[in-house]
Structure 1
Amino acid sequence: MDLSNLLTTKQRLVLMTWEFGDWKYLINYGAVRSGKTFIDNILFLLELRVVKKRAEREGDKNPMYILAGFSSKSIQTNVIAELTNVFGIDVKFDRHGHFKLFGVEVIPAYTGSVRGVGSIRGMTSYGAYINEASLSTQEVFQEIIQRCSKPHARIICDTNPDNPQHWLKTDYIDNKDPKAKIESFHFTLDDNTFLTPDYVQALKHATPKGMFFDRSILGLWVTGEGAIYRDFNEKKMTVDETPNKLKYIAGVDWGYNHPCSITVFGIDEHGRYYLVDERTGRFKEIDYWTKVAKKLQKKYGYNIPFYCDTATPAYIQHFKNAGINALNGWKQVVPGIEIVASLMKQGRFFVWKNHTQKFMEEIYNYQWDDKAEDKPIKEMDHVMDSMRYALATPIHLEELKKQHQTNSRNNIKAGLKRFGL
């Protein structure tokens, strides 16, 4: 069978290794949209067929296999939805959250916390497929491995890169001991030759410089260094005036000894964001900031959403009691920074000249902490955090809504039926 129209060169190499290689762990890592999860989903189905045959030879009428991911939602999005949309497989869960496929009972496990592997404790598995492996805690990863104690049990993983000292890289990907039987494949964006050139070019030009580009496009395990928002250009991004018709959003980073900051952004019809107001100060009580928010409501609209730091829920409730549309901000720091940085990279971020207090000071001093793993230095970050809540939260929520639709549009069911899957 000619697979060149179905799989990329890198995916075909992985498939050949799966079939003919002598391995215990098969790890695909690298860039976003590079095809690593897609080939692992295929291997997952092929592996289940092998497990069923092995179990029949052993007289095991109920072989079990682990499907692991960061959360039930990530498993649904990255694996289950593709099984349905691409392969036409109707997954039906039982009352325990398990499902059967090709005569094998698949038990989901969630790697984001130790509690997520309660379903697999004590079981004996014929193997495991671990999606987004770098997001797993090491303790959970080890628990999954220990459950895969059937003879010839194998573990398949896929992941985006993280910092270069991550245990998955140092203990597994970098482990070249033949006795460990670890095979790993590095994927770059350019490995996915089925992507259209205009999509690849646009993604490269939209991805922020530094760590984000190295990880997302080149698939490298690198750490952040230096300034976080490298693409901010004061000459190009500072404007003397803003469009008349804007939709407004706000972000709030609470503080007292450390500054509290409220930022307001206007969004134009072309999806460009303008920082139109910033209020930052220290040693002010919540009543003071409530009055500030009320004035901003009057100026920018009473329904303006304030996306707030959830570290102080009492303050959020105080805002709500005062009639302010206070909402929980999205707290994921690095993904949130990437969203903001992407807006700058795409030329969709602007600052209204002379309408900020501390923004210009912070933007040039907001740095990665070279002593921590993927964390900013907790200095000069109050306006930056407020900005992140305001911009990243609604964009993230909108992306979640579109995610399932995107999976459906990428349907290539007809071609993959040639696999007999």
Structure 2
Amino acid sequence: MSMNDLLTVKQQEVLHAYLQGDFKTMILTGAVRSGKTFIDNLLFLYELRRVKQQAELENEKHPQYILAGASSGSIYNNVIASLSNQFGIDLRADKHNHYHLYGVDITPVYTKSISGLAGARGFTAYGGYVNEASLANPAVFSEILSRCSKAGSHVIADTNPDAPTHWLKTDYIDNENPDNKTLVFTFTMDDNTFLAPDYVKQKKAQTPTGMFYNREILGLWVSADGLVYQDFDEDRMVIPASQIPNDLHVYCGVDWGFEHKGVITVWGDDDDGNIYLLEEHTSKYKYISYWVQVAKDIQKRYGYNINFWVDSARPDNVSEFQRNDINAINADKARMAGVERVAEFMKLGKFFVVDSAIDQFTSEIYQYVWDENTGEPKKEQDDVMDSMRYAIFNEHKDNDIEFLSSRYI
């Protein structure tokens, strides 16, 4: 078996650079499913063996190595479980939630918030592995670098792209000072030659046009620009009610409002994976009793067990729905993941709007644009858009584990 049977060309380049050893920080950045995490997990094993050898020379009985990630769950999913699946190495956490391999104490650090500083302080590490580095708090990332002060220590990291103004890009990836001793490798999806060609073709076809495609497929650090839903085609996607299939699975999204628009949208899925906006109810200056009646009327038409995915910002309204036997469920409001899920349906041509349903939908979708400063959609003209996102993202989330996790693999 040759190296080409085990590693892609890009992964071999990374391994060769690692074995040369002339670096302090190595950052692998780029597309989803491009092989970054696999090679970093392999380097993690190399690192632990290196640390064990160095610690023996220094008579250090309990060498520590940092394993960092956004949360304990992401560390387990992306590293611990992957080591078991890929290399047959099963690690079990001790009572301190540390792992142990090759005589090295693997110390977890959670990077998503500033509270992770507490876990990174107070000890000297022989090195570190930072998974999902762009999700890290910059102060925590900096502290990890500071902790890894043993001679010859390395910090390896992987990340998916974000905005070009992101601190990881400007402060580390683009830092050309040779004393910084940072190596950067950029992956595209096509670099992972072990992926099935039909999977790559499908992934490219379903990834929304613009920012999502540039980041997830090409591995580019690009800004969001223009319309959020660039693949919405009014001529093809707005249809008459006569084209609605029978036997739809129906659910709703609810965005509370008063001085700004309140919205309930009604959606239906057919057996072919298409989704349809069946009804839109949009009004200002309406109290909760009005929305209860709207929901009750929807139940009469579509059934009393349908889900209403609601904005959790108004728990009093949620409770009022529930007291009236309306199946109100607090929605996961993850904006970027939700927007991408909706946009994927549009890119695949599986998104339709019944013409008689439209009130403010068309007006909003053409005014729903990216904020260049935040890299997320602007909080303007977004009431129907939020209702749509709550409904579609949450109703399909449990069936899309691969979709949600693949961006970090």
Q: Give TM-score, length-normalised by structure 2.
A: 0.96
Secondary structure of the corresponding residue to residue 354 of structure 1: helix
Report the Cα distance in structure 1 between the residues aligned to 2:98 and 2:225, rounded to whole angstroms. Answer: 43
Cα 1:391–1:403, aligned 2, differ >3 Å: closer, same or farther?
Answer: closer
Q: How does 1:196-345 map to 2 (within 5 A)?
A: 196-240=196-240, 241-345=243-347
Matches for 1:16-415 after TM superposition, within 5 Å: 16-240=16-240, 241-370=243-372, 372-400=373-401
Cα shift readout 1:16-73 (whole Å, capped 9, x = no counterpart): 0000141000000000000011100100111010001000100001101111111111
1:59 and 1:230 map into 2 onto residues whose CA distance is 60
Cα RMSD (Å) of the superposition?
Answer: 1.6
User: Once the 2 structures are TM-superposed, how far is the Cα of residue 137 of structure 1 from its aligned partner?
Assistant: 1.0
**Contact in 1 for aligned 2:255/2:384 (Cα 8 Å):** yes
CA distance, structure 1, for counterparts of residue 231 and residue 403 of structure 2: 27
Shift of 1:242: 0.6
CA-CA distance at 1:314 after TM superposition: 2.2
Alpha-carbon offset, residue 395 of structure 1: 2.3
Cα distance in 2 for partners of 1:58, 1:396 equals 50
| 1:228 Cα deviation after fit | 0.7
Counterpart of 1:80, as a letter, is I
CA contact (8 A) 1:67 1:109 kept: yes
Task: Give the match for residue 415 of structure 1.
Answer: none
Contact kept? 1:280, 1:357, Cα under 8 Å: yes
CA distance in 2, matches of 1:73, 1:317: 31
Give 1:120 shift: 3.0
Partner of 1:377, secondary structure, is coil
Alignment partners' CA distance in 2, 1:98 and 1:377: 41
Tell me which residue corresponds to 1:416.
none
Percentage of pairs with the same residue: 52
Code of the aligned partner of 1:380: Q
Distance 2:345 2:402 in 1: 19
- TM-score (normalizing by structure 1): 0.93
My pick for the range that moved more, 66-75 or 140-149, is: 140-149
Gaps spanning 5+ residues in structure 1: where?
Answer: 411-421
**Which moves more between the two structures, 197-206 or 114-123?**
114-123
Distance in 2 (alpha carbons) for counterparts of 1:39 and 1:55: 24
Deviation at 1:118, TM superposition (A): 2.6
Secondary structure of the residue that 1:303 maps to in structure 2? coil
C-alpha contact (below 8 Å) 2:251/2:308 kept by paired residues: yes
Deviation, structure 1 residue 384 = 0.4
Check the 8 A contact 2:69/2:133 in 1, yes or no: yes
Deviations 1:203-226 (A, max 9, x none): 111111110000000000011111
Distance in 2 between the 1:58 and 1:399 partners?
Answer: 48
In the alignment, the residues of structure 2 paired with residue 58 and residue 315 of structure 1 have an alpha-carbon distance, to the nearest angstrom, of 63
Does 120-129 or 225-234 show the bigger shift? 120-129
The alpha carbon displacement at 1:119 in A equals: 2.7
Secondary structure in structure 1 of the residue aligned to 2:399: helix
- Alpha-carbon distance in structure 2 between the residues aligned to 1:175 and 1:114: 24
Contact 2:120 2:140 (8 Å CA) reproduced: no
- Moved >3 Å (runs of 4+): 400-404
Once the two structures are superposed, residues 171-222 of structure 1 have per-residue CA deviations (whole angstroms, 9 ceiling, x without a partner) of: 1000111100000000001101111211111111111111000000000001
